[in-house]
Copies of this chain bind each other. A is one copy, B any other.
Amino acid sequence: MKLFTGLSAFSITPTDASGRVDTAALARLLERISAARADSIGLLGSTGGYAFLSRHERQRAVESAMACVGGKIPVIVGVGALRTDEAQAHARDARKAGANGLLLAPMSYTPLTDEEVFQHILAVAEAGELPLCIYNNPSTTRFTFTDDLIVRLASAPNIVAVKMPLPTHGNVKAEITRLRRRTPDGFAIGYSGDWGAADALLAGCDAWYSVIAGLLPSEAVALTRAAQAGDAREVERLDQAFQPLWSLFKEFGSFRVMYAIADALGLCRAAPPRPILPLPPTDMPRVKDALDRILI
């Protein structure tokens, strides 16, 4: 199986209030993902709160991840930063720690131009010397990739995949077809946005970059395998069970809900990094009800 295909499970990164990574708690989460036979781990993605962690803590997270699941499951590491040189440093750190692939979102403060994002990603891919997935996530970076920019990047060294958001208009199948036609053979096109994963998988995308798989890996693996087998009815059945949780993701943002799920499942008691606030306790019963619908 290629690196950027199948189910990529994105873990939260448990930390204390000062942003120090709880490596023991992280290891427990990653071992569950590995045991459930997801196809890869997405470490330090948006769900992993990479934007809120220092270089040192990101390094600690990658090193402890590789120590516990390295060799058992490929680990893809988010290396985004506001500065190009910092993103390059994160990419080098990840490679030295043994990461298998990189994920790069064009984080921004000053809104970026297409040319700036092109040169930024090229520079990080070159420094990282690992297969890199373009992380197209307008809701956090506020940068929207055009097809042209993805196509331009797809022919550069080390850039082998893209993680797309769900299309806001048009259907996902048409988008995949359009991008496949213009990108090199083997360039992997995957999707995030858990509530659209069933559609995207059935439409033939290469990968599901899944938030929920970070905490419910077995259930997300089941949905992925059903889709890969072309069993649309089973996919539909499993996706239906996820619906109450997808509603919570849309209402509160998946980042906040994931901490509540980890708590509800007794996996760890970490809180999201301030200024992000945890879910109000009054909404916890909804989280528990949603989980009851899903758990295998």
Chain A residues within 8 Å of B, Cβ to Cβ: 17-19, 46, 51-52, 82-85, 106-107, 109-113, 115-117, 119-120, 123, 139-140, 142, 253, 255, 273-277
Contact = CB atoms under 8 A, between A and B. Distances in A.
B253 A110 contact: yes
Given A109-B107, A110-B253, A111-B140, A52 B83 contact: yes
Given A18-B85, A85-B19, A140-B111, A106 B275 contact: yes
Contacts of A85: 17-19, 274
A185 to B, nearest CB: 29
Given A116-B277, A117-B275, A120-B275, 7 more contacts: A46-B109, A52-B83, A84-B274, A109-B140, A111-B140, A112-B275, A119-B275
A113 B277 contact: yes
B140 A110 contact: yes
Nearest to A18: B85
A120 B139 CA distance: 20
A140 B123 CA distance: 23
B139 A111 contact: yes
Contacts of A116: 275-277
Nearest to A280: B115
Nearest to A47: B110
Contacts of A277: 113, 115-116, 119
Q: Which 5 A-B pairs have the closest CB atoms?
A: A51-B109, A120-B275, A84-B274, A116-B275, A84-B275
